[in-house]
Amino acid sequence: MGQAEGRQSIFITGAASGMGLETTRLFHSRGWFVGGFDQNAEGLKKLEAEIGADNCLVQQLDVTDKPAFEKAVAAFGAATGGKMDILYNNAGIGAGGFFDEMPFEDNLKVVQVNLVGVMIGIYCGIGLLKATPGSLCFTTSSSAATYGMPGIATYSATKHAVKGLTEALSIEFRRHGVRAADVLPGLINTPILPDGAAANAPKEGMFRAIPPVEVAKVVWEAYSSDKLHWYVPPELAELDKAAGNAPELVREQIATTGPIARMIEEQAAAARK
């Protein structure tokens, strides 16, 4: 039966902070066994102390290292008796700036973590998911997957890719009895945000700052649902719909309003001097 002792189980990457940490806490509070994986060793140590070593398996993990991911999944399977009710590919990084001004290596790292790391996780976890009735393959996409966002172009591209991958796998994995879904969070107050971003965010609207526990609640709801895309906040679904129906209009709105528009104008003004 293993360390989990028959409890339902969730495997979470990026578990030491932000959305991953809050998801770990929520599922633990509801009696689940948690696998917490992250590169942040100190954060994992605090997580283990908080919820108890009997209730979790925590390990350092670089999600871009496929052999290491395979070992992590094997250790998790040994603890759960070969089961995995939810695989939550949550780990991600961001890098901001104009695409042509950013070092290629910085953009490539975003792709490796945010897309390749998700693919690796699914490849490694699918065996346990297939062995678990009602299992869910869940991934963190982003509001940046509603429309390609300037200033974070490569990040946005990876999140579009994750969204598309989820849609395809939600059909493919039916033959295994495994569901696939994702969450598209807006401005979530986590360490990935630039300094001051949450404090300077609007107080209302779809891009208000939202605590990461709201994403954790969505992961919980998704396990009992067949819904494909989860938006946090829900109003982001309207942006996704608008971007699909009138991409040129959304392009002009983004280009002419907000901080990105100001950045572009400031750079253009500097070039004219």
Identify the CA nearest to 51 among candidates 36, 40, 62: 36
Domain assignment present for residue 108? The answer is yes
Q: Phi/psi at 198 (nearest 5 deg)? A: -70, -40
Domain assignment present for residue 73? The answer is yes
Tens digits of residue pLDDT in 58-93: 999 999 999 999 999 999 999 999 999 999 999 999
* DSSP state for residue 13 in the 8-state scheme: E
Q: Which residues are catalytic?
A: 155
CATH number, position 70: 3.40.50.720
Q: Give this prediction's pTM.
A: 0.91
* Number of domains, the chain: 1
Domain assignment present for residue 272? The answer is no
Domain assignment present for residue 120? The answer is yes
Spatial distance between the Cα atoms of 57 and 2, rounded to a whole number of angstroms:
11
Domain assignment present for residue 1? The answer is no
pLDDT tens, per residue, the chain with 273 residues: 689 999 999 999 999 999 999 999 999 999 999 999 999 999 999 999 999 999 999 999 999 999 999 999 999 999 999 999 999 999 999 999 999 999 999 999 999 999 999 999 999 999 999 999 999 999 999 999 999 999 999 999 999 999 999 999 999 999 999 999 999 999 887 665 555 455 555 666 666 778 899 999 999 999 999 999 999 999 999 989 988 999 998 888 888 876 556 655 665 555 555
Domain assignment present for residue 218? The answer is yes
pLDDT for position 11: 98
Answer whether 11's CB lies under 8 Å from 32's CB: no
CB within 8 Å of 141: residues ≥ 6 apart: 159, 162, 163, 166, 182, 183, 184, 229
pLDDT for position 143: 92
CB within 8 Å of 63: residues ≥ 6 apart: 13, 37, 69, 89, 91, 113, 117, 118, 120, 121
pLDDT for position 253: 85
Containing structural domain, residue 148: 9-245
Domain assignment present for residue 250? The answer is no
Residue with tokens 């907000």: 258
Answer whether 76's CB lies under 8 Å from 83's CB: no
What is the DSSP secondary-structure string of 89-139?
E-------S-GGGS-HHHHHHHHIIIIIHHHHHHHHHHHHHHTSTT-EEEE
Q: Compute the chain's Rg from CA coordinates.
A: 19
Domain assignment present for residue 110? The answer is yes
CB within 8 Å of 118: residues ≥ 6 apart: 63, 89, 139, 162, 165
